[in-house]
Amino acid sequence: MQIIYTDVLVIGGGLAGQRAAIGAKRRGHDVIVLSLVPAKRSHSAAAQGGMQASLGNCLGAAGDNEDIHFADTVRGSDWGADQEVVRMFTHTAPKAIRELAAWGVPWNRVARGEREITVDGQRKTISEPDAAHGLITSRNFGGTQKWRACYVSDGTGHAMLYTMSNQAIAANIPVHERMEALALIHADGRCHGAIVRNLMTGELLAYVARATCIATGGFGRIYRVSTNAIINEGMGAAIALETGVATLGNMEAIQFHPTGIFPAGILVTEGCRGDGGLLLDCNEHRFMPDYEPEKKELASRDVVSRRMEEHIGAGHGVKSRFGEHLWLDIRLLGADHINNNLREVKEICQYFLGIDPVRELIPVRPAQHYSMGGVRTNHRGESPQLQGLFAAGEAACWDMHGFNRLGGNSVAETVVAGMIVGDTIADFCDSTAGALQLSSALVQEFGERERRRLAEIANGKGRESAFELARLMQETMTAQVGIFREGERLEQAVASLQELQLRSRNIGLRSSAPGANPELVTAYRVQRMLKLAQCVAYGALQRTESRGAHYRADHPRRDDLNWMRRTLASWPSADARLPVLTYEPLDIMKMELPPGWRGYGARDYIEHPDTGVRQQQVDAIGGGLDRADRHTRQEALMPFRHLLPEHLRNNNERLGEES
Amino acid sequence: MNRIPLRQAARTLRIQILRHNPRDPDSQPRLQTFEIEEADAMTLFIALTEIRERQDPSLQFDFVCRAGICGSCGMIINGRPGLACRTLTRDLPEQITLAPLPAFELIGDLSVNTGKWMRGMSERLETWVHSQNLESLDIDAMEAAMEPELAEQIYELERCIECGCCVAACGTARMREDFVGAVGLNQVTRFRLDPRDERSDAAFYELVGDESGVFGCMTLLGCEDMCPKDLPLATQIAFLRRRMAATT
Amino acid sequence: MTGKLDRGPARADILQSLSGLLLVLFIWGHMFFESSILLGKDAMYRVTRMFEGEPLFGKPYPLLVSGVAAIIFVLIAVHAVLALRKFPGSHRQYREFNAHMGAMRHPDTTLWYVQVLTGFALFFLASAHLLVVFLQPDNIGPYASSDRIWSGRFWILYALLLVCVHLHAGIGIYRLAMKWGPIPAAGSKVARRRLKLAMWGIIAFFLCLGTASLATYMYIGRDHAPHAGERYLPAHQQALPGNT
């Protein structure tokens, strides 16, 4: 087995992975990026609508700042997020976007003077100020008080990923494409790299590294209907779970995007609604204002998705032979706007539905979209249990999203986390703890273990089909661990998944083709995906409350009293049938923004006694500093800057704001 | 109410695939035909996945986003390059022939190594913003302003997804392996247009001012006609040719 | 960057296009002049004399025609040498291109192959024609040309030449426009459709014109066959006594 040594091994070539790689490389460390696919094909490219950063340039964003972005994000998370991390994030997001602007992303810009927009179904003329001309503009997104989603038409992720990849190429960072990490090499709570399979030749290699960073994105493909790319099978999270040491956080927190096109589940951006698009039912009636008078179509995704399913459940869905759906109407935005700012949407409608959204309605229904959970890390992006293992982006539970992520906060997280984690990885490598110390026997042992696992599948005489098991898992998850969850069905799901897991030990292959062997790939992945699916289902079963995207019909209220805590899942041993769940409390007494109503969605929740106490404290501290600037007030409530790398601590400059 | 087009009688598709596994010493390139029942709104992504799951699990192909945005699934569909994921079978005859994109290293069956080719192209043409102060950026400060129209023009060229269809559609690239293709030339015009890139025309000439670059293009226009993203490749290459011809 | 750019490739590309453009302009002019026969023998006679420099020098110098033929030959040679670089250079390249063209069924790719074939043919056909003109510059005129075409069986050469040269020139000028033309990206699809239409229009026009004049020469040549070799006298000279 070939062994490749490097300082930093980044698993995953999307935005988060490549940004972290660039950060570590700039600090003088050798970095290798592993990617299942060519880096520019990563799922980051699919982010369409925008990246949240409180620049506050255009009229709709005027007055925006980190504080408002922070509050929106925490409310969006239904108070499930780590507020310090949210602060780190909202503070760094403007820097991230400005860095990308200098690196080449062609962000759409503010044009001075009058222009027509669509708000609440009405055409309206606004006038952009001269001073903002040429600065980065932004559009409206769900769950936000300001227009904060900076965008590049509706190919934001594509433009960002290409710029990032090109900078990584410029920095001479090797990307080993079509490589899949099968296991993390670890001993005594320290991670040393990974055993990797070449997806072209089938060969096994070992990558030995001082620091290993998982940036493999989400695991949407455990569901049948998902907007995710088909490579989003969560293998990064799964290999972390299989260490038995590292934990996965909040796996039950799964986001469903309101507008997956029906029935394929391909995403059309939230920008459609942000720019003024409406949701209609079978009578072409705009129903969202009936449920959500405040934010209407632009409540957070969890709320809109639930309302849509609720409305379909009430018999207002549009019937088709594939099932029921609703309509997304962007006709009112006009041909010009659609052709310029929503062109990917237009292409998707043309190619997959054969319709022209300028003149026709788009059939949509919520589809699995994002995993808020992932490899649990501390604020530095490092696993608290497994030293030398880092994670960034969707693969991580850094925990800035809690139980629901706001649109546009994911691409923002990838870059921001990449910036921060790239630095903390470099710090780690520079420290004594980061020294490479392992025996080659350990590497051989892990390599041998993976070789045996593959051989068992390839030579086993099992009768189960990997494809069939994957299909059954996806059906189970979509049917029973979807938007509306309920105890009994979750119990069934857990049982079904356990059965599938047993069956997955008995997989037989029909093909023994040399090389990658796609059937073998499906086989070993489905074994791992079943573990992730079980973490989701079991976590959802145990969490007897409704918070953010996790909705329990039998426990419809948010329960701060019992559930102000983060789920941590670990997989105790190879033959375990369930994950071990532990819980990490979220301390209300340290929160800058104590729990309350989100401003949309359900109004009643079970309050924690600390909430009132903390709220009084917060009010008192704020009142005592009413003459101080917002940074000082914030600092008094919940200091966070010391958690950031030094060069990211300064205030962000803004139009019309003293820095 | 349902506006998703409906087909009455299901067809049986005969999908002929050029199979070859270079890892297998016994493998010879051959055409293999699979028959499958056509379903509503079936794309080649769905059809190929079904073939792999039900008929031949060793079949190799590449899909990632399956939504026409990542550029993974370029292949030759009835003679012409295209993105398989967004090709609806109802737009094709019952007899469908699929082959891997030529001009790229074959991984197996329909899977080719476009990633390696594109990375090589990027390194060779240095497809990134060249600027003196990237290492010492002040990211706390306001971003530099840019004309809104210019930003949109840059994005227009940046929409390329490096799928390789233009290279496979190019007679020049088929004959000359070192030709950078429309994908490379387009990226050069993208960075030339970008004021953040400080390179001069002479610097760009060094990259594409030869027979493997813009002067190798014979204007066969396969790139323009087969580009899944409808990029204005012909006008961009003409523009670059004029600029490079005028460079001294 | 230093000023040490290798301008060779740029020059070669410009020269190939420029030589092609000049040749196209030449052949189009050539067509109009030779088809003067359609307006009568006198018209063609006058055109011939004009090119022999009679209006300028008072008497015809056929050597001028030889000169032009030589220049055109040089242009063709330059154009051919430059274009040759783009032709399939090996059996592998030829096979690749052929397979590509056959599979793609893409008009502009196929048209390029038409240019390769016609270009190849033209090198011989046009050279043959030019050689005759070069060696016998005085042998051009209503009867002289017609006799060569009919009695000398040159119509076979000219018919082939006609088809090849106009396909090659028409396609070439279209490609030239697409290659260099400052067409705004917004309307490029429409512009290209129009250019393509114009290309076919021009090809059709010149093929008709050329066919008509070739047919005319052939008729004249057939009628004049018994007196082949005899030179044409313009109408005003025929009327003079002593010229029987």
Q: Provide the pLDDT for residue C1.
A: 45
Chains C and B physically touch (3 or more Cβ atom pairs below 8 Å):
yes
Lowest mean pLDDT among A197-206, C184-193, C198-207: C184-193
The pLDDT score that the predictor gives to residue C243 is 45
- DSSP letter assigned to residue A634: H
**Chain C residues with CB-CB distance to B under 8 A?**
1, 3, 5-7, 9-10, 12-14, 85-86, 88-89, 93, 96-97, 100-106, 108-109, 112, 175, 178-185, 188, 192
Burial of A459 (0-12, 13-18, 19+ CB in 10 A): exposed
The pLDDT-based confidence of C3 (bands split at 50, 70, 90) is low
The residue ranges of chain A whose pLDDT is under 50 are none
Q: Where are the alpha helices (DSSP H) in chain B?
A: 44-50, 114-125, 148-158, 165-168, 171-175, 181-193, 201-208, 222-226, 233-245
A383–B contact, CB cutoff 8 A: no
Is position B179 within any domain?
A: yes
Which one of B156, B205, B238 has the shortest CB-CB distance to C181?
A: B238
The first and second tokens of residue A604, run together, are 């009643």
- Annotated catalytic residues of A are 257, 273
Alpha carbon distance, N-terminus to C-terminus of chain C: 77
Is domain C15-233 classified as CATH 3.40.50.2000?
A: no
Task: Note whether residue B83 is domain-resident.
Answer: yes
More reliable by pLDDT, B135 or B70: B70
CA-wise closest residue to C4 among B211, B208, B202, B188: B202
Of B171, B213, B232, the CB nearest to C109: B171
pLDDT of residue B1: 44
Distance separating alpha carbons of residues A538 and A531, to the nearest angstrom: 10
A636/chain B closest Cα distance in angstroms: 22
Residue B238 lies in a domain: yes
H runs (alpha helix) in chain C:
8-34, 41-51, 54-57, 63-84, 91-104, 107-135, 142-150, 154-180, 188-224, 235-238
- The residue among B112, B144, B161 that closes a domain is B112
Pair (B55, B164) in one structural domain: no
Kindly state whether residues B141 and B194 are assigned to the same domain: yes
DSSP string covering A168-195: HHHTT--EEESEEEEEEEEETTEEEEEE
**Residue after which a domain boundary falls, among B79, B112, B145:** B112
Domain boundaries, chain C: 15-233
Tell me how far apart the alpha carbons of residues C39 and C23 are, in angstroms, rounded to a whole number. Answer: 25
Q: B26 falls in which pLDDT band (50, 70, 90)?
A: very high
The residue range of the domain holding B51 is: 12-112
Q: Side-chain half-sphere of B181: how many Cα atoms within 13 Å?
A: 30
Q: Which of A469, A527, A616 is nearest to A234 (CA)?
A: A527
Domain boundary among B57, B81, B112: B112
B6 belongs to a structural domain: no
Shortest distance between the Cα of B103 and any Cα of chain C, in A, equals 10
Report the candidate in C59, C41, C39 with the shortest Cα–Cα distance to residue C141.
C41
In sequence order, what E strands does A23-174 have?
A: 31-35, 51-52, 113-119, 122-128, 138-139, 149-150
Mean pLDDT of C114-126: 95
Q: What pLDDT score does B4 carry? A: 52
Residue B118 inside a domain? The answer is no
CATH code of B194's domain:
1.10.1060.10
pLDDT score for A658 = 63
Spatial distance between the Cα atoms of B125 and B129, rounded to a whole number of angstroms? 11
> What pLDDT is recorded for position C240?
57
Residue B91 belongs to what H/E stretch?
A: none
Instruction: Enumerate the residues of chain C whose CB falls inside 8 A of the CB of residue B102.
Output: 96, 100
Q: Which chains touch C (3 or more CB pairs under 8 A)?
A: B
The continuous run of DSSP H or E covering A275 comes out as: none
Query: How far is the C-alpha of B163 from the C-alpha of B117, rounded, in Å?
Result: 11
Q: Is the peptide bond before A263 cis (omega within 30 degrees of 0)?
A: yes
SS3 label, residue C86: coil
Instruction: Give the max Cα distance, chain B.
Output: 64
Domain at B98, CATH number? 3.10.20.30
Task: Give the Cβ contact number of residue B239 at 10 Å.
Answer: 21
Give me the number of domains chain B comprises. Answer: 2
Question: Is this complex's ipTM strictly greater than 0.90?
Answer: yes
Pair (B146, B68) in one structural domain: no
Short-list A114, A118, A137, A13, CA closest to A64: A137
Task: Please list every residue in chain C whose beta carbon sits closer than 8 Å to the beta carbon of residue B245.
Answer: 10, 13-14
Residues 572-631, chain A, touching B (beta carbon < 8 A): none
Mean pLDDT value of segment C140-158? 94
Domain check: are B101 and B147 in the same one? no
- Do B104 and B130 lie in one domain? The reply is no
DSSP letters of A447-477? HHHHHHHHHHHHH----B-HHHHHHHHHHHH
Q: Is the dihedral of CA C219, C221, C225, C231 positive or negative?
A: positive
pLDDT class of B208 with cuts at 50, 70, 90: very high
Q: Do B57 and A515 touch (CB under 8 A)?
A: no
> Does B140 fall in a domain?
yes
Please judge whether A158 and B158 are an interchain contact, meaning their C-beta atoms are less than 8 angstroms apart: yes
> At B248, is the pLDDT very low, low, confident or very high (cuts 50, 70, 90)?
confident
3-state secondary structure of A355: coil
Q: From C101, which residue of chain B is nearest by alpha-carbon distance?
A: B171
Specify whether B79 is located in the same domain as B137: no
The stretch B140-166 carries a mean pLDDT of: 97
Task: Return the beta strands (E) in A1-143 as ranges.
Answer: 2-11, 31-35, 51-52, 113-119, 122-128, 138-139
Residue B147 shares a structural domain with residue B81: no
pLDDT in tens, C72-116: 999 999 999 999 999 898 999 999 999 999 999 999 999 999 999
Looking at the fold, whether B80 and B148 belong to one and the same domain comes out as no
Cβ <8 Å between B174 and C97: yes
pLDDT score recorded for residue B8: 57
Specify the pTM: 0.95
Please tell me the least confidently modeled range out of A371-380, A423-432, C12-21, C179-188: C179-188
In a domain, B119, yes or no: no
Does any CB of chain C come closer than 8 Å to the CB of residue B174?
A: yes
Phi and psi for A6 in degrees, rounded to 5? -155, 165
B238 and C178: CB-CB below 8 Å?
A: yes
> Does residue B7 lie in a domain region?
no
Q: Identify whether residues B80 and B162 lie together within a single domain.
A: no
Alpha-carbon distance B53 to B75, whole Å?
20
Nearest CA in chain B to C183: B235
Res C244: pLDDT: 43
Across the interface, of A155, A361, A514, the residue whose CB is closest to B21 is A514
Per-residue pLDDT, A321: 86
